[in-house]
Amino acid sequence: MPRQAFIVFRNRETRGTYEAVVDLTNGTVLRHERMEGVQASITGEEFMATEDTVRASPEWQEAMRKRGVEDFSMCMLDPWSSGYFGPEDHPSRRRICRPLTWVRSGDPDDNGYARPVEGLQVVVDLDEMKVVEVIDHGVVPLPPRPGNYYPDLAMGDPENVPVMDGMREDVKPIEITQPEGASFTVDGSLVTWQKWQVRIGFNSREALVLYDIAYQDGDTLRPICHRASLGEMYIPYADPQPTQSTKNVFDMGEYGIGWLANPLELGCDCLGEIKYFDGVVNDQDGEPVVIPNAICMHEEDYGIGWKHTDFRTEKVEVRRLRRS
């Protein structure tokens, strides 16, 4: 069968979003069409370029100085998708985002998301990569205390009052061992486990995708599901404040959770006998990008599957629940 790829891309010069189908076997374009009234997902390159673009804006810098911020390298800017607030936001007219700002408290590893800059909105044209509007609704004091994940940064408020207790030391180690290895087998993307089989896929929008899930019922391999993936991740923040009301995100469709996946580590992200699968996505120029160990697969004991007690004979049967 011919291999085909479905592509969504943005042409900045024409300010258009396009769909295409390419025959990878013959190296031919089967379909190429401009799609009106829609936008392509925000790319990783646009994400990072937006931060640099806003930091260089004199209007944004002036607003930050009003809030007592002079070191702009400590500022974090996320290009939140724009939403729709009038005809000027129609996808056919311009490609914009509305970045929000956070400020680290002085350490590059500080959790900047604990210190949001309220009352400040920015509009960025992603095709031209320039700031087109800065709206300042008034100064709101920054949160005075940090909120960090790292124990060595847990101390940080002016009175040196700890805001995090650090790592727990009141639990003993747990060791996950499988002396005979895992029960699943892997052949390329095909995984077989007990009577189940499934193929593993990965893409930039959905991340993990399961294909051709089937169950071996005697001599018959019964198809269960052709394709299974997360459809969307919708996050309505529902706060009426000016900098919050625009936060209404479709994380998968507007950003893609696949390219945001990070390499997994044994002992930290995954325990036991692990099989890793790399993820392959593309950059905004169409070049492949490999995310090593994007998926880890392992078995785990998941408690009691079922238990039956015969009160007359006092005989007990228990089955453990294992999942992969």
> In this predicted structure, what is the pLDDT of residue 168?
75
CA-wise closest residue to 201 among 281, 288, 285, 300: 281
Name the average pLDDT for the chain: 89
pLDDT digits (tens, 9 = 90+) for 171-204: 888 888 888 889 999 999 999 999 999 999 999 9
Residue recorded with tokens 């401009």: 34
Could you tell me the two tokens for 307?
Answer: 């238990």
CA gap 205, 232 in Å, rounded: 9
pTM of the model: 0.82
pLDDT digits (tens, 9 = 90+) for 21-71: 999 999 999 999 999 988 899 988 999 999 999 999 999 999 999 999 999
* Intervals of the chain under pLDDT 50: 156, 158, 160-162
| DSSP letters for 161-192 | --S---S--SS-------TT--S-EEETTEEE
> In this predicted structure, what is the pLDDT of residue 161?
47
Q: Are strands 130-136 and 275-282 parallel, antiparallel or unpaired?
A: unpaired
- Boundaries of every domain in the chain: 4-35, 44-153, 185-303
- By the 10 Å C-beta count (0-12 exposed, 13-18 middle, 19+ buried), 60 is classed as buried
Q: Which residues contact 122 (CB under 8 A, 6 or more apart)?
A: 54, 57, 60, 77, 98, 99, 100, 101, 131, 133, 134, 135
- In CATH, what is the architecture of 44-153? Roll (3.10)
> In this predicted structure, what is the pLDDT of residue 202?
95
> In this predicted structure, what is the pLDDT of residue 296?
92
